[in-house]
Amino acid sequence: MLAMGVNYILVEMPGDGPFKDMVAAASRQEHLLVDMNWLILVFFAFLIPAVIAVAVVTRRRAPRLTAAGLVLTVPGFALGFGAGPDDTQLALLTHQKHLDLSTMTALDTALWGTPSAGLSSLLFIVGITIGLLLLGIALTRARGIPAWYGVALAFGGFTHPFMPTHTLAGVGLIIAAVGFFGASLGLLRMSNDALAIRAGN
Protein backbone atom coordinates (compact mmCIF):
# COMPACT_ATOMS: atom_id res chain seq x y z
CA MET A 1 0.00 0.00 0.00
CA LEU A 2 2.92 2.31 0.73
CA ALA A 3 4.22 1.74 -2.80
CA MET A 4 0.92 2.76 -4.39
CA GLY A 5 0.66 5.77 -2.09
CA VAL A 6 4.07 7.01 -3.24
CA ASN A 7 3.02 6.40 -6.85
CA TYR A 8 -0.13 8.50 -6.40
CA ILE A 9 1.85 11.36 -4.89
CA LEU A 10 4.57 11.45 -7.54
CA VAL A 11 2.57 10.70 -10.69
CA GLU A 12 -0.02 13.16 -11.94
CA MET A 13 -2.48 11.44 -14.24
CA PRO A 14 -6.06 12.52 -15.05
CA GLY A 15 -8.19 9.94 -13.31
CA ASP A 16 -11.31 10.04 -15.45
CA GLY A 17 -10.52 12.44 -18.30
CA PRO A 18 -10.21 11.70 -22.03
CA PHE A 19 -7.62 9.10 -23.01
CA LYS A 20 -5.72 11.71 -25.06
CA ASP A 21 -5.14 13.68 -21.84
CA MET A 22 -3.67 10.56 -20.25
CA VAL A 23 -1.31 10.11 -23.20
CA ALA A 24 -0.23 13.74 -22.92
CA ALA A 25 0.41 13.28 -19.19
CA ALA A 26 2.35 10.07 -19.87
CA SER A 27 4.54 11.86 -22.39
CA ARG A 28 5.45 14.49 -19.78
CA GLN A 29 6.28 11.86 -17.15
CA GLU A 30 7.65 9.01 -19.26
CA HIS A 31 10.77 8.26 -17.21
CA LEU A 32 8.93 8.58 -13.92
CA LEU A 33 6.20 6.20 -15.08
CA VAL A 34 8.77 3.63 -16.18
CA ASP A 35 10.36 3.78 -12.72
CA MET A 36 7.00 3.63 -10.98
CA ASN A 37 6.08 0.47 -12.88
CA TRP A 38 8.70 -1.35 -10.83
CA LEU A 39 7.44 0.14 -7.57
CA ILE A 40 3.86 -0.82 -8.36
CA LEU A 41 4.97 -4.44 -8.65
CA VAL A 42 5.63 -4.30 -4.90
CA PHE A 43 2.03 -3.20 -4.37
CA PHE A 44 0.63 -6.02 -6.49
CA ALA A 45 2.89 -8.61 -4.84
CA PHE A 46 2.24 -7.77 -1.20
CA LEU A 47 -1.23 -6.24 -0.88
CA ILE A 48 -3.11 -9.54 -0.50
CA PRO A 49 -0.47 -10.97 1.90
CA ALA A 50 -0.86 -7.76 3.93
CA VAL A 51 -4.64 -8.32 4.08
CA ILE A 52 -4.05 -11.89 5.25
CA ALA A 53 -1.71 -10.58 7.96
CA VAL A 54 -4.53 -8.36 9.24
CA ALA A 55 -6.90 -11.33 9.25
CA VAL A 56 -4.48 -13.48 11.24
CA VAL A 57 -4.14 -10.76 13.88
CA THR A 58 -7.87 -10.01 14.12
CA ARG A 59 -9.54 -13.40 13.67
CA ARG A 60 -9.75 -14.29 17.37
CA ARG A 61 -11.10 -10.99 18.67
CA ALA A 62 -13.35 -10.11 15.72
CA PRO A 63 -13.99 -13.25 13.65
CA ARG A 64 -17.13 -12.05 11.86
CA LEU A 65 -15.68 -8.67 10.89
CA THR A 66 -12.52 -10.42 9.75
CA ALA A 67 -14.41 -12.92 7.63
CA ALA A 68 -16.56 -10.23 6.03
CA GLY A 69 -13.53 -8.04 5.34
CA LEU A 70 -11.67 -10.94 3.73
CA VAL A 71 -14.64 -11.88 1.55
CA LEU A 72 -14.75 -8.33 0.17
CA THR A 73 -11.05 -7.50 -0.10
CA VAL A 74 -9.33 -10.60 -1.46
CA PRO A 75 -11.68 -11.29 -4.43
CA GLY A 76 -12.05 -7.56 -5.09
CA PHE A 77 -8.31 -6.96 -5.19
CA ALA A 78 -7.59 -10.09 -7.23
CA LEU A 79 -10.22 -9.19 -9.84
CA GLY A 80 -9.14 -5.55 -9.89
CA PHE A 81 -5.55 -6.54 -10.59
CA GLY A 82 -6.35 -9.15 -13.20
CA ALA A 83 -9.42 -7.98 -15.11
CA GLY A 84 -9.38 -4.17 -15.03
CA PRO A 85 -7.72 -2.23 -17.90
CA ASP A 86 -4.56 -0.30 -16.97
CA ASP A 87 -5.12 3.13 -18.52
CA THR A 88 -1.77 4.50 -17.38
CA GLN A 89 0.21 1.65 -18.93
CA LEU A 90 -1.84 1.86 -22.12
CA ALA A 91 -1.23 5.61 -22.35
CA LEU A 92 2.50 5.15 -21.74
CA LEU A 93 2.77 2.50 -24.46
CA THR A 94 0.78 4.69 -26.84
CA HIS A 95 3.35 7.44 -26.37
CA GLN A 96 6.46 5.23 -26.37
CA LYS A 97 5.51 3.13 -29.40
CA HIS A 98 3.95 6.04 -31.35
CA LEU A 99 0.68 4.17 -31.65
CA ASP A 100 -2.31 5.70 -33.36
CA LEU A 101 -4.16 7.78 -30.79
CA SER A 102 -7.65 7.29 -32.20
CA THR A 103 -7.18 3.51 -32.40
CA MET A 104 -5.84 3.30 -28.85
CA THR A 105 -8.64 5.53 -27.58
CA ALA A 106 -11.17 3.18 -29.18
CA LEU A 107 -9.36 0.20 -27.63
CA ASP A 108 -9.40 1.79 -24.18
CA THR A 109 -13.11 2.58 -24.50
CA ALA A 110 -13.85 -0.97 -25.68
CA LEU A 111 -11.90 -2.51 -22.79
CA TRP A 112 -13.77 -0.44 -20.23
CA GLY A 113 -17.04 -1.30 -21.96
CA THR A 114 -16.73 -5.02 -21.29
CA PRO A 115 -18.94 -6.33 -18.45
CA SER A 116 -16.00 -8.05 -16.75
CA ALA A 117 -14.04 -4.80 -16.55
CA GLY A 118 -16.99 -2.97 -15.02
CA LEU A 119 -17.63 -5.72 -12.48
CA SER A 120 -13.98 -6.08 -11.50
CA SER A 121 -13.62 -2.32 -11.04
CA LEU A 122 -16.74 -2.21 -8.88
CA LEU A 123 -15.56 -5.10 -6.70
CA PHE A 124 -12.13 -3.52 -6.34
CA ILE A 125 -13.71 -0.29 -5.06
CA VAL A 126 -15.93 -2.27 -2.68
CA GLY A 127 -12.87 -4.13 -1.43
CA ILE A 128 -10.77 -1.06 -0.77
CA THR A 129 -13.59 0.96 0.80
CA ILE A 130 -15.87 -1.44 2.65
CA GLY A 131 -13.48 -4.39 2.96
CA LEU A 132 -10.61 -2.40 4.44
CA LEU A 133 -13.07 -0.47 6.60
CA LEU A 134 -14.26 -3.73 8.18
CA LEU A 135 -10.73 -5.04 8.61
CA GLY A 136 -9.67 -1.73 10.14
CA ILE A 137 -12.49 -1.90 12.66
CA ALA A 138 -11.48 -5.47 13.45
CA LEU A 139 -7.87 -4.34 13.89
CA THR A 140 -8.91 -1.82 16.53
CA ARG A 141 -10.00 -4.80 18.64
CA ALA A 142 -6.78 -6.77 18.23
CA ARG A 143 -4.53 -7.36 21.21
CA GLY A 144 -0.95 -6.19 21.42
CA ILE A 145 -1.13 -3.10 19.18
CA PRO A 146 -2.68 0.36 19.62
CA ALA A 147 -6.21 0.75 18.24
CA TRP A 148 -5.19 3.71 16.10
CA TYR A 149 -3.51 1.33 13.64
CA GLY A 150 -6.96 0.00 12.86
CA VAL A 151 -8.33 3.53 12.54
CA ALA A 152 -5.56 4.31 10.03
CA LEU A 153 -6.39 1.26 7.93
CA ALA A 154 -10.12 1.97 7.95
CA PHE A 155 -9.67 5.67 7.14
CA GLY A 156 -7.10 5.18 4.40
CA GLY A 157 -9.14 2.56 2.59
CA PHE A 158 -12.61 4.05 2.95
CA THR A 159 -11.67 7.59 1.87
CA HIS A 160 -9.54 6.61 -1.14
CA PRO A 161 -12.16 7.00 -3.93
CA PHE A 162 -13.35 10.32 -2.50
CA MET A 163 -10.01 12.16 -2.37
CA PRO A 164 -10.16 15.21 -4.69
CA THR A 165 -6.50 15.17 -5.81
CA HIS A 166 -3.90 12.53 -6.59
CA THR A 167 -1.70 13.85 -3.77
CA LEU A 168 -4.42 13.46 -1.15
CA ALA A 169 -5.26 10.01 -2.51
CA GLY A 170 -1.61 9.07 -2.07
CA VAL A 171 -1.54 10.40 1.47
CA GLY A 172 -4.65 8.37 2.27
CA LEU A 173 -3.02 5.19 0.98
CA ILE A 174 0.08 5.87 3.06
CA ILE A 175 -2.16 6.22 6.11
CA ALA A 176 -3.66 2.83 5.23
CA ALA A 177 -0.12 1.47 4.95
CA VAL A 178 0.46 2.54 8.55
CA GLY A 179 -2.50 0.33 9.48
CA PHE A 180 -0.97 -2.60 7.63
CA PHE A 181 2.30 -1.96 9.45
CA GLY A 182 0.43 -2.21 12.73
CA ALA A 183 -0.96 -5.59 11.67
CA SER A 184 2.54 -6.77 10.79
CA LEU A 185 3.73 -5.59 14.19
CA GLY A 186 0.94 -7.50 15.87
CA LEU A 187 1.77 -10.59 13.83
CA LEU A 188 5.42 -10.44 14.88
CA ARG A 189 4.41 -10.17 18.52
CA MET A 190 2.17 -13.24 18.39
CA SER A 191 3.48 -16.51 19.74
CA ASN A 192 3.33 -19.74 17.77
CA ASP A 193 0.53 -20.93 20.05
CA ALA A 194 -1.49 -17.80 19.30
CA LEU A 195 -0.98 -18.30 15.57
CA ALA A 196 -2.15 -21.90 15.66
CA ILE A 197 -5.74 -22.64 14.66
CA ARG A 198 -7.29 -25.20 16.95
CA ALA A 199 -10.65 -26.94 16.75
CA GLY A 200 -13.25 -24.95 18.58
CA ASN A 201 -11.32 -21.63 18.38
Query: pLDDT tens digits, residue range 43-88?
Result: 999 999 999 999 999 998 999 999 999 999 999 999 988 777 889 9
User: Given a cut of 70, is residue 183 above it in pLDDT?
Assistant: yes
CA distance 48 to 82: 13
pLDDT band at 36 (very low <50, low <70, confident <90, very high): very high
Task: Decide: pTM greater than 0.75.
Answer: yes
Q: What is the largest CA-CA distance in the chain?
A: 61
183, 50 in Cβ contact below 8 A?
yes
Give residue 16's pLDDT. 77
CA distance 113 to 57: 39
Section 137-161 average pLDDT: 95
Among 2-11, 81-90, 103-112, 125-134, the least confident range: 81-90
27 φ, ψ (degrees, to nearest 5): -65, -30
